[in-house]
Amino acid sequence: MVNRGIRGATTVTKNEENEILRETVVLLREIVERNDVIAEDICSVWITMTADLDATFPARAIREIEGWEMVPLMCSVEIPVKGSLPQCIRLMVQVNTDKSQRDIRHVYLNEAQKLRPDLSQSK
* Residues classed as catalytic: 7, 63, 75, 78, 90, 108, 116
Summarised one tens digit per residue, pLDDT across range 7-19 is: 999 999 999 999 9
Residue 118 has pLDDT above 90, yes or no: no
**Could you tell me the pTM of the whole model?**
0.93
In degrees and rounded to multiples of 5, residue 23 shows phi and psi of -70, -30
CB of 11 closer than 8 Å to CB of 87:
yes
- For 19, the enclosing helix (H) or strand (E) is helix 17-35
Q: What is the pLDDT of residues 80-93, one digit of tens each?
A: 999 999 999 999 99
Q: Is the pLDDT of residue 120 over 80?
A: no
